[in-house]
Amino acid sequence: MTKDKTRYSADTITLKIDPDEPTPEIIALSGAVLRAGGLVAFPTETVYGLGANALDTSAVDHIFSAKGRPSSDPVIVHIADVAQLSDIAIDLPDVIHRLIGAFWPGALTFILKKSPSIPLNVTAGQQTVAVRMPDHPVALRLIQAAGVPVAAPSANRFSRPSPTSATHVLDDLEGHVDIVLNAGITRIGVESTILDLSRPDPVVLRPGGVPLEALQTYLPQVVFQPHYLGETVNAAPSPGTLLKHYSPDAQVWLFKGPGALDCMLQTAERLQNEGQKVALLLSEADLQGLSAMALPMVFSLGKDEAVMARRLFFGLRELDAQGVDAILVRAPQQQGLGLAIWDRLLRAAEGRIIET
Encoded one letter per residue, x for contact with ligand TXA by CB under 6 A and - for no contact, window 272-311 reads ----------------------------------------
- Taking the complex as a whole, the smallest distance from the CB of residue 4 to ligand TXA amounts, in Å, to 21
Best CA proximity match to 53, nearest among 73, 70, 71, 31: 31
Closest to Mg ion by CB, 156 or 283: 156
Of 30, 53, 121, 128, the one binding ligand TXA (CB under 6 A) is 128
- Taking the complex as a whole, the smallest distance from the CB of residue 156 to Mg ion amounts, in Å, to 6
DSSP 287-337: HHHHTTS---EEEEEESSHHHHHHHHHHHHHHHHHTT-SEEEEEPPPSSTT
Closest to ligand TXA by CB, 53 or 126: 126
Q: Which does 74 bind (CB under 5 to 8 A by kind): Mg ion, ligand TXA, none?
A: ligand TXA
List the interface residues with ligand TXA, window 95-114 (CB under 6 A): 107, 109, 111
How many DSSP H helices and E strands does the chain contain?
11, 16
- The two beta strands, 76-78 and 150-151, are antiparallel
Best CA proximity match to 156, nearest among 176, 139, 140, 136: 176
Confirm or reject binding of residue 43 to ligand TXA (CB under 6 A): no
Q: Which does 130 bind (CB under 5 to 8 A by kind): ligand TXA, Mg ion, none?
A: ligand TXA
Confirm or reject binding of residue 154 to Mg ion (CB under 5 A): yes
Residue 18 Ramachandran class (φ > 0 left, ψ -120 to 50 alpha, else beta): beta
The three-class DSSP label of residue 136 is coil
Confirm or reject binding of residue 132 to ligand TXA (CB under 6 A): yes
Confirm or reject binding of residue 164 to ligand TXA (CB under 6 A): no
For the sheet containing 251-256, what is the strand order?
297-302, 278-283, 326-330, 251-256, 353-355
Tell me the C-alpha distance between 95 and 73, whole Å.
27
DSSP class of residue 229 equals: B
CA torsion through residues 23, 29, 33, 35, sign: positive
Q: Which does 164 bind (CB under 5 to 8 A by kind): ligand TXA, Mg ion, none?
A: none
Closest to ligand TXA by CB, 205 or 252: 205
Q: Which does 73 bind (CB under 5 to 8 A by kind): Mg ion, ligand TXA, none?
A: ligand TXA
Closest to ligand TXA by CB, 108 or 281: 108
Confirm or reject binding of residue 75 to ligand TXA (CB under 6 A): yes
Say how many residues touch ligand TXA, by CB under 6 A: 30
- Taking the complex as a whole, the smallest distance from the CB of residue 132 to ligand TXA amounts, in Å, to 6
Best CA proximity match to 339, nearest among 244, 205, 235: 205
Confirm or reject binding of residue 123 to ligand TXA (CB under 6 A): yes
Point out the residue whose Cβ comes nearest to Mg ion.
154
What's the first-to-final CA gap in the chain, in angstroms?
A: 48
The three-class DSSP label of residue 60 is helix
Tell me the C-alpha distance between 341 and 211, whole Å.
11
Q: Which does 175 bind (CB under 5 to 8 A by kind): Mg ion, ligand TXA, none?
A: none
Count how many Cα atoms sit within 13 Å of the Cα of residue 122 in the half-sphere of its side chain: 29
Binding residues (CB under 5 A) for Mg ion: these are 154
What is the contact surface with ligand TXA in residues (CB under 6 A)? 44, 46-47, 49, 73-76, 107, 109, 111, 123, 126, 128-130, 132, 134, 152-154, 191-192, 194, 205, 237-241
